[in-house]
Amino acid sequence: MRILLQFPEGLKQKALEYAKGLESEGNDVFISASPTFGACDLALDEMRNISADKLIHFGHAEFHHVNANVEYVPYFVDAPLTLLPDSLGHLRDFKTISVLTTIQHIHQLDKVRKFYEENGKKVVIGKPYGFAKHSGQILGCDIGSAASVDNDVDAHVYFGGGMFHPLGALLNTKKPFLVVEPFANKIERIDSFRETYRKRSNGKKMRALNSKNFGILVSTKNGQHNMNLARIIKQKVEQQGLSAKILVANTFDFMSLNNMMEFDAFVNTACPRISIDDTERTRAPLLSANELMEVLAMKRELKAANVKPEF
């Protein structure tokens, strides 16, 4: 069988080992060398171009159904639980908490829950919106496990590595948010980032008030493609007498976007994290669809009041 292997960046170092194993079973094995951001980003074009019979995607659970022969191989990592006792001091004032983690540690979530319950906490585990597969699991674009229980808890606890995943959950909740990072040996309340990102978003919207030419980003990645939204956005922009063009790429390269000097604002319909995490990489404001709607509403109000924005 002709097989294409696809690994996220953190697992690419294992590619050769897996390839050799499958080759020794008589398969014709290829390895995708493209950047891989998640199961939203399956190497389907590469699979088609080399006529592979199967794509094996490592490290992520299925994101949504695709019409291709794809096998998902999860990669679980046992993280030390030794920081949990120290986290109790940070949770002293909170009786009911939610616990959250990523797919890599989802098999440990039950142990984390039991630990907090044995130490007097009521633990609520929320459900994802659909892209993530497990209760308590969060993705950068599926924070349902946190947001769906925000009204029921006093605080959220994220157990896992890095800020990418908890940041999305933080920005879509209101309660105190504790990050327990077992590998960095760090426990941190990250609530103050909400204000940082709110100010950053306001700054983008203010800068976009003068914009006349909008570039709408559409990704061709299987789980990020949103042409319908892009067309709606284009229509909304044009209805206001402004110009909009749809810009298509698989992975958006910020240097290339910055070379498109005629556009004075970009609107993201691809991975929702682009308009949160990458806003400082573009010359022009990089808005989410919601931020664009706010900008258009502000523009209408200013026009009605005959006020010129001073940005």
Nearer Cβ to ligand SF4 (29/139): 139
Tokens for 177, please give them: 């948010």
Least distance to ligand SF4, CB of residue 9, Å:
11
Least distance to ligand SF4, CB of residue 113, Å:
24
Interatomic CA distance for residues 280 and 247, integer angstroms: 19
Nearer Cβ to ligand SF4 (37/116): 37
Least distance to ligand SF4, CB of residue 274, Å:
8
Long-range contacts of 283-290 (CB under 8 A, 24+ apart): 283/257, 283/258, 284/207, 284/211, 285/204, 285/205, 285/207, 285/208, 285/211, 286/204, 287/204, 287/205, 287/208, 289/229, 289/233
Nearer Cβ to ligand SF4 (40/208): 40
Which residue in 157, 163, 90, 171 sits closest to 126, CA to CA? 157
User: Beta strand 2-6 with 186-189: parallel, antiparallel or unpaired?
Assistant: unpaired
List residues binding ligand SF4 (CB under 6 A). 37-38, 40, 139-141, 223-224, 271, 273
Least distance to ligand SF4, CB of residue 173, Å:
17
Tokens for 258, please give them: 């910055």
Least distance to ligand SF4, CB of residue 101, Å:
15
Interatomic CA distance for residues 276 and 140, integer angstroms: 11
Least distance to ligand SF4, CB of residue 270, Å:
7
Nearer Cβ to ligand SF4 (41/124): 41
Least distance to ligand SF4, CB of residue 57, Å:
12
Least distance to ligand SF4, CB of residue 37, Å:
4
Nearer Cβ to ligand SF4 (22/141): 141
E strand spans, the chain: 2-6, 28-31, 54-58, 70-73, 96-100, 122-124, 155-159, 177-181, 186-189, 213-219, 243-249, 265-268, 286-287
Residue nearest to ligand SF4 (CB): 140
Which residue in 48, 74, 79, 47 sits closest to 63, CA to CA? 74
Amino acid (one-letter) located at 167: L
Nearer Cβ to ligand SF4 (57/273): 273
Interatomic CA distance for residues 78 and 189, integer angstroms: 23
The number of angstroms, rounded, from the C-alpha of 198 to the middle of its chain's C-alpha atoms is: 17
Nearer Cβ to ligand SF4 (52/167): 167
Phi, psi of 306 (to 5 degrees): 60, 40
Nearer Cβ to ligand SF4 (141/163): 141
Least distance to ligand SF4, CB of residue 282, Å:
17
Give the residue carrying structure tokens 């998902």: 72
Nearer Cβ to ligand SF4 (35/80): 35
Check: CB of residue 246 under 8 Å from CB of residue 234: yes
